[in-house]
Amino acid sequence: MTAAPGKTLLIACGALAEECFAVIRANGWDHMEVTCLPAKLHNRPALIPEAMRKKIHENRDQFDQILALYGDCGTGGGLDKVLEEEGVERIAGAHCYEFYTGAAAFAAIADAEPATFYLTDFLARHFDRLIIEGLGIDKHPELLPLYFGNYEKLLYLSQIENAELQDKARAAAERLFLDYEYRFTGLSGLGDFLKQKAG
């Protein structure tokens, strides 16, 4: 008889919550739980490492394993330093775009088309709140060319095929005056990492 896997906590970026739950449900992993740091920390990445440390300390005694589902996300290596000190492994990749597409595929995209702005399902769903309002473009439309004037294309990296989200992403591209491209990534990047750690 195979021993039951120990309890695992996934500490994820809030932008990955729905995707984490989808992977867990699809695989029937009832030994995994998810807690998230606020997605808005992306606007203040210097705060991410210590927010992660606090979350680890709050939960360490309740779980056999803790994993971080987070990219470096602008912390300049600060997140990895904290995770190394705390003995917590994270999914490989500088950001969620990379672990959705795979490192090699993302590098090829970025090299071929460096003037690309990326959306995920989460960003497509919350585009107005996070991008337009978050960057102050709703109140100061003159900021739009300052933020996006050097981009040429919006690439929607989609995790779950959804016509409504595709419409939202297409509308986002139009609002930013960018060409639009859609690419389905699925959830295999998250899924493959978690399968290796499922126990």
SS3 string of 52-88?
Answer: HHHHHHHHHHHCCEEEEECCCCCCCCHHHHHHHHHCC
Distances 97 to 64, 81, 180 between C-alpha atoms, Å: 29, 21, 16
pLDDT band at 53 (very low <50, low <70, confident <90, very high): very high
- Whether residue 97 is contained in a domain is answered as no
Tell whether 107 and 155 lie within a shared domain. yes
Q: How do beta strands 32-37 and 8-13 pair?
A: parallel
Domain end, chosen from 31, 60, 90, is at: 90
Tell whether 118 and 153 lie within a shared domain. yes
- Whether residue 192 is contained in a domain is answered as no
- Whether residue 127 is contained in a domain is answered as yes
Q: What is the pLDDT of residues 126-141, one digit of tens each?
A: 999 989 998 999 999 9
- Give the amino acid at 85: E
Q: What is the pLDDT of residue 62?
A: 95
pLDDT band at 39 (very low <50, low <70, confident <90, very high): confident
Q: What is the pLDDT of residue 43?
A: 80
Tell whether 78 and 38 lie within a shared domain. yes
Question: How far is the C-alpha of 55 from the C-alpha of 47, rounded, in Å?
Answer: 12
Tell whether 111 and 81 lie within a shared domain. no
- Whether residue 1 is contained in a domain is answered as no
What is the CATH classification number for the domain harbouring 49?
A: 3.40.50
Q: What is the pLDDT of residues 109-124, one digit of tens each?
A: 999 999 999 999 999 9
Please check the confidence at residue 8 and state whether its pLDDT lies above 60. Answer: yes
Tell whether 44 and 79 lie within a shared domain. yes
Tell whether 114 and 75 lie within a shared domain. no
Which position has the higher pLDDT, 199 or 65?
Answer: 65
DSSP classification of residue 176: T
Q: What is the pLDDT of residue 1?
A: 40
Q: How many domains does the chain have?
A: 2
- Whether residue 146 is contained in a domain is answered as yes
Tell whether 76 and 24 lie within a shared domain. yes
Q: What is the pLDDT of residue 2?
A: 45
Q: What is the pLDDT of residue 197?
A: 84
Residues 20-36, mean pLDDT to the nearest whole number: 94
Who contacts 11 (Cβ-Cβ below 8 Å, separation ≥6)? 35, 36, 37, 52, 55, 56, 59, 66, 67, 68, 69, 70, 88
Q: Which domain holds residue 32?
A: 8-90
Q: What is the pLDDT of residues 57-94, one digit of tens each?
A: 999 999 999 999 999 988 999 999 999 999 999 998 88
- Whether residue 193 is contained in a domain is answered as no
The half-sphere exposure of 115 on its side-chain side, counting CA atoms within 13 A, is 10
- Whether residue 53 is contained in a domain is answered as yes
- Whether residue 191 is contained in a domain is answered as no
Q: What is the pLDDT of residue 170?
A: 98
pLDDT band at 3 (very low <50, low <70, confident <90, very high): very low
Domain end, chosen from 63, 90, 117, is at: 90
Q: What is the pLDDT of residue 40?
A: 83
Closest CA to 125 of 80, 175, 169, 61: 169
Total residue count of the chain as it appears in this document: 199
CB of 10 closer than 8 Å to CB of 32: yes
